[in-house]
Amino acid sequence: MDRLDVIATFVRVAELASFTAAAAALGISRTVASDRVMQLEARLGVKLLNRTTRRVSLTEAGLAYLDRARLALATLEEAEQEASTLTGRPRGVLRVNAPVTFGARHVAPAVASFLAAHPELGVELTLADRRVNLLEEQVDVAVRIGRLEDSSLVARRLAPCRSIVCAAPAYLAARGMPEHPGDLVKHDCLSYAYAADGDLWRFERDGQQETVRVGSRIWSNNGEALAYAAIAGLGIALKPTFIVGEALRDGRLVPVLPGWSVPPMGVHAVWPPSRYLPFKTRAFIDHLAACFGPDPYWDRI
């Protein structure tokens, strides 16, 4: 096992071109990472890495060894995956990443039910609205919402993600109900800071498309905060139903522009490509698809 740790450390340092980044990814100190690579070089009797104060690069011998080391680690991983598949029991630790609000509201409960069914498995769940690098941060599977831009990842659609324009009854009573998307320019709107289109809100109806640049009273990088602001009567929000579905059901929010729809997005599971998808990862993705599905519970308004 020590030899495998040493080889895995070398591979990670070579891939990230940094002892510091590799140590962080592996959860060890930089000193331990450096010592492991030096042990490997001593055992092989050859220099694998060129080290300067600014960068790390592979020697010719290191480049050749890296290919074989990757193959050896991949072969071992495949053997472990096949063994887990034969036992039918996911084991080990599964590292999952998801957006903050969706992760807390919907992924966390799915993790709980998944672990209840698989007692030999653990899950490390990280929530972040930034796009994490799955390889650098050693994430097995991430849940992402919206348009998928990273073509280097493999993806599976888990559920639709429908958004709706909504506001509190008190706000609409005071300011009036918009009849057309263009009317939104006369209203206070609440904008998500990470939205791909910024303050541009897009609508569709009977093949007709409308794009409106709204005037925002509040901007936030958290959709939950914007939902609270809408419920408090501070303006009109364009939010996914997985956040505002409950408030729409109980009347704290009401739909605005019901004849118009917002271009739909999707909830996806994404993971790094490999010859074999680990059994624990595949089982969790299947579980998420079963929990959410084409008619997700948060959409039943």
Is 145 buried (19+), middle (13-18) or exposed (0-12) by CB count in 10 A? buried
Q: How many CA atoms lie within 13 A of 293 on its CB side?
A: 7
Which sign, positive or negative, has the C-alpha torsion 169, 170, 171, 177?
A: positive
Domain covering 163-263, topology: D-Maltodextrin-Binding Protein; domain 2 (3.40.190)
Q: pLDDT band at 275, cuts 50/70/90? A: low
Look at residue 67 in the predicted model and tell me its pLDDT. 86
Superfamily of domain 90-160+266-299: Periplasmic binding protein-like II (3.40.190.10)
User: Which of 73-77, 149-153, 282-286 has the least mean pLDDT?
Assistant: 149-153
> Are 90-160+266-299 and 163-263 the same fold in CATH?
yes
pLDDT tens-digit profile of 174-232? 999 999 999 999 999 998 887 777 788 999 998 888 899 988 888 888 889 999 999 99
pLDDT tens-digit profile of 99-110? 999 999 999 999
Q: Which two tokens stand for residue 135?
A: 């390889």
Q: Is the pLDDT of residue 292 over 50?
A: yes
Look at residue 81 in the predicted model and tell me its pLDDT. 64
Q: Is the pLDDT of residue 237 over 90?
A: yes
110 vs 85: which has the higher pLDDT: 110
42 vs 278: which has the higher pLDDT: 42
149 vs 267: which has the higher pLDDT: 267
pLDDT tens-digit profile of 5-44? 899 999 999 988 889 988 988 889 999 999 999 999 999 9
Domain 2-85 coded CATH 1.10.10.10 = yes
Mean pLDDT, residues 52-63 taken together: 86
Q: Which two tokens stand for residue 171?
A: 């706000």
Q: Is the pLDDT of residue 135 over 60?
A: yes
Look at residue 82 in the predicted model and tell me its pLDDT. 66
Rounded to the nearest 5°, which phi and psi values hold at 170? -65, -40
Which sequence spans correspond to the domains of the chain?
2-85, 90-160+266-299, 163-263
Give the other-Cβ count within 10 Å of 17's Cβ.
13
Look at residue 125 in the predicted model and tell me its pLDDT. 95
Rounded to the nearest 5°, which phi and psi values hold at 94? -105, 125
